Every structure is written in C-alpha cells, then in structure tokens.
Structure 1
C-alpha cells in the first residue's frame, strides 16, 4: 500500500462554529485597528508611489547589483532600487541597469548634485559605465499609480464577486468577497504597523492573495454544495462543518507546501523581494483562516434557500456551470 502524507487525520470532526462569535468580533476589531493604523500612520510608500528619479546605466562589463548598492550605501539616499535590464536586442557586451532613487523631503525629484554623486559612486565601481538617460517621476504620476492600484484590487474583487454569484448563489458571493476584504485590510494594516515599504510589487502580492484565498474558499463551497444535495435534512450548520472537515486535509496540504517555499524565499531571498514575499506569506495564512472560519460562517448568518428548485428556467441555472 502506497504511503500517503496527510497533515490532518482522514476523518476529523472539528466544530468550526464553536467560537463563531468571538472569532467574528475579533476579526472585526482587527479590521478596524488596521484601518485606524492606515489612517494614522499611513503607508511607507516606495518609489512607485512616492516619486523620484530613475538613472539608466550602460556598461561593457556585467552588472554587479550588490557592488552598485554597496557603492551607494554611504550617500544616504533613502529608498534605492537597482535592477538589471534584459533585452534580446542588446549587444553581447551591452549591460544595462536602472537605479531608482525615491524623492525626499517633499521634493518632486532628486537634485542634480545628488545625481552627480550617484554617477561618481557608480563610476568608482565600473569606470566604463555611462548614463544615457535620467528621468524623474513627480507626485502627480505617483498619485495616478496609487489610484490604478486601488482600481486593480477593486476590479479583481468585483470579478470574483460575479464569478462566485454565477458559480454558486449570491449568499456565497457575499461571504467570499467579505472574507477577501478581511484579508486585504489586515495585510495592509500589518504594512502600516511595521512601516514596510509599499510599492507596486506589494499590489501584485495583494492580487495574488485574492486569487489564492478565493481558490481555497471555492473548494469548501463546492464540497458544501455537494453535501447540501446529499444531506437534504441535515441542519445547514452541520453540513458546513462536515464540508470544512472533509476539505481540511487538502487545505492544510496546499497551505503547508506553499508556505515551505515562501519561508525559504523570505529567509534567503534578500531585501529586494522580502516585502513581496512577506505580504504573500501573511496573506496566505490569514486567507486560510478566513476561508475556513469567515466565509462559510457569513453564509450561515445570511442563510441559504434549500427548497427544491425546477431543473430549468430558474435564475440559479448558472450554479451548474463547471469551472
């Protein structure tokens, strides 16, 4: 008989509603605290949202990002991002990088004196380096990026709401989206509390959290719908508990294996991606919690219509769509 790894017993009987109200109240308190932290402390915006200057470099020597960063450390530039640029049209001895420096003290761009210091420091690392272009991004463009990020998150949430509504019923959609809002607000609250840099990479992490969390929620909802057909007379609360227990092993296995990779990246990935990985790690943990406890609990509070419906000609025909 083949060995099968299970992070939970094959048959569990956990009462996920035992602390329904304390958990709901606790989640609401954490959401309010996150909003308060966001309003009072604000977010530590990175270059994408803060504005600044981008210096493009070219050299016939390979780009050494660590050496570039070390050379700029003593200049006290604040938030600096260094990335190597790859393009198939580049010549074999053409190596390009971008040095992005955040604006400081309310200025719209880095001063010419500071740019000259940066160029001199980089030339100390690589005398052959040149600077083909210097571009500045002001607060107006940064504000547009913030608004675009908000629209991206709202648009993704709205699309998920419509999908769950068509895939199941509107009660499921409300519970799922409420759980997603819970995940996003708590994640942003943690970034405000610890003043971790918030840039476009974190927005990408938030969208990843939305997709991961809704995937776990859909698995539980799908099993719930099957069990509602199978156990027509069982109380809704008991059917929900049964469904969550039946999918618990899958939930723990998926979350556990994902966290192994994320924790490794968090420890060994370096400063460049640490904020991005931290956001996804925290979001997956809180997303698993909301999928198991928040989403279905809200559906129970709203209630479901368990009466028999005609096979055709009903608004719920979309519930039979296979996804």
Structure 2
C-alpha cells in the first residue's frame, strides 16, 4: 500500500477543507452559542411531554434559532435558550404563551434569567488552556516512549484534527457552546490513540529495516494497522451516529462534531501523522 508516495494528495485534501472553513469563518464567523455570547435562559414545566416542533411553534415567533432542551427524567420541563436579551416583560410574555396553550397554573416560569458573555470568555480560555496542556503532555509522553520526531508528528496531526473540528463547526453552523471543550478534548484523545498504534508498529519495523528506509517502513506499518484503525473507528462512529439520529438538539450539537472529529482523527493517524514523520526523518536527525 503506497500511502507515503501520495503525501501531497493527503495534505491537499486537508488543506482544502481548512480553506473552506477559513473562508466561512472570515465571512460569517463561527456560530457562537449562548454560553459565549450571553442571552436569556428560561425553564418551564409543562406537566406533560410534548414534541420539540410543538414548542417551536411558539418560540419561532421570538427567535427561530432558539435552543430547546428537555430537563429531568420525565422530560416535562423544557429549557429554552436564546442569544437575544429578553427583559422581564418579554420573558413573561413568552411564558404566558405557554401558560395559555398548556393551561399552566404557575404565574412565572421555574427559572428565567439573563446573563452576559463573561462565562463564555472563561470557557474559551479554559478550552485553550486545556488543549495546550493536553498537547504538551502528549508531546512529552510520545517523545519519551518513542522519540522526538514521533512527538512532533503526533502534535501536527492533533493540530490538524482540532482545525478540522473548528472548520466543521463553521461549515455546519454548529453552535460553539460549552460542549465544544469536551468535543475538542475527546477528539484529541481519540486521535492520539490511533496515532500511537501506527507509530508503535513503525518503531518495531524500524528495528529490522534498512537504514533511512523510512518510506517503506511507514507504508508497511500503515498496511498492517489500517484494518484495526478503520474497524475501531467505524464501530465508534456507528454508536455516535445513532445518538445523533435519535438524540435531542443538545446531544446533536455534541455528537455531530464528534463524528467529524473522530473521522478526522482516523484520517490523520494514517494519512497525516505517518507522512509527517517520514518528512521529519528525511529532513532532520531527530
């Protein structure tokens, strides 16, 4: 299997996706959710289970992009979020619509509040710090277990995965909320696992290879591990896709980036990390 010989093709595909995402980010920006922009949150107990579409028939009058979640095991309490700042009168107006439709006895929603973007800044900063700490820790671990060239290649693959994930948020207009942090760290952890499997086989094959025969070693190692990588990824993606299909909006906002991120992680461990390792070994003495 000639993977390394087509390095320009693999890098070109990734760069094309990144370019599309970058254009969208520069023109329309990321779809920052309420956690980052601030807005209004309300929780209303309807005392019955209703469909999301039925709720949207009311909320669309105020904000067609309003996020709707169900709270509690019985899913009788709805949580609605909007980036718009609703004052107390506006929040009461929204509640009265539900009160009238569902004959509620309450005079006010269970929870209603406005909040600014301060929390969003903290989440953003924590996301950056967490990702950097994870990247540095993985670089140290991979460099210690293998050698520095493997560590550099794995970090480049991780950066690739994070950028692809951000591009997915931009292309599919997924709201960038607090689950973004979990999605990034999950993808990073999943990707490094696949990459280490390939690198472990490369290290074993290097013991019996000719000096500087990096291309053949990488191709042989990828060929012997690609079935394992693809089977593991497909199994995981089937489970996550099921959650996306049957899940509520909040689950979909988390699982869609995971689907894209894990697919990117599998791709990078085969077509980005290994070719990058070959380039590093050919150009340096690491």
Shorter-chain TM-score bucket reads: 0.7 to 0.9
Match of 1:72 among 49, 58, 72: 58
Q: After TM superposition, give the deviation of residue 249 of structure 1 in Å.
A: 1.4
Whether 1:251 and 2:229 are equivalent positions in the alignment is: yes
How many matched pairs? 283
Q: After TM superposition, give the deviation of residue 229 of structure 1 in Å.
A: 1.9
Question: Mean alpha-carbon deviation: is it higher for 239-248 or for 296-305?
Answer: 296-305
Question: Which structure has the larger Rg?
Answer: 1
1:48 and 1:81, CA in 2 relative to 1: closer, same or farther beyond 3 A?
farther
> Which residue in the other structure is 1:91 paired with?
none
Counterpart secondary structure, 1:174: helix
Match of 2:177 among 199, 212, 216: 199
Runs of 4+ in structure 1 displaced over 6 angstroms?
none
Q: After TM superposition, give the deviation of residue 66 of structure 1 in Å.
A: 3.9
Q: TM-score scaled to structure 1, two decimals?
A: 0.77
> Which residue in the other structure is 1:41 paired with?
28
Q: After TM superposition, give the deviation of residue 203 of structure 1 in Å.
A: 2.8
- Which aligned pairs between 1:136-151 and structure 2 lie closer than 5 A? 136-151=114-129
Structure 2 residue runs without a partner (length 5+): none
Q: Pick the structure with more helix per residue.
A: 2
Counterpart secondary structure, 2:207: helix
Q: TM-score scaled to structure 2, two decimals?
A: 0.85
Structure 1 residue runs without a partner (length 5+): 1-13, 87-93, 308-315, 317-323
- Which aligned pairs between 1:157-196 and structure 2 lie closer than 5 A? 157-196=135-174
Give the whole-Å Cα distance in 1 for the aligned partners of 2:8 and 2:53.
54
1:238-262 Cα distance to aligned partner (Å, 9 max, x none): 1111111111111111011112222
Q: After TM superposition, give the deviation of residue 55 of structure 1 in Å.
A: 2.6
1:102 and 1:143, CA in 2 relative to 1: closer, same or farther beyond 3 A?
farther
Match of 2:97 among 94, 108, 121: 121
- Contact 2:31–2:176, Cα closer than 8 Å, also in 1: yes
Counterpart secondary structure, 1:230: coil
- Which aligned pairs between 1:219-230 and structure 2 lie closer than 5 A? 219-230=197-208
Q: After TM superposition, give the deviation of residue 97 of structure 1 in Å.
A: 4.2
Give the whole-Å Cα distance in 2 for the aligned partners of 1:149 and 1:223.
32
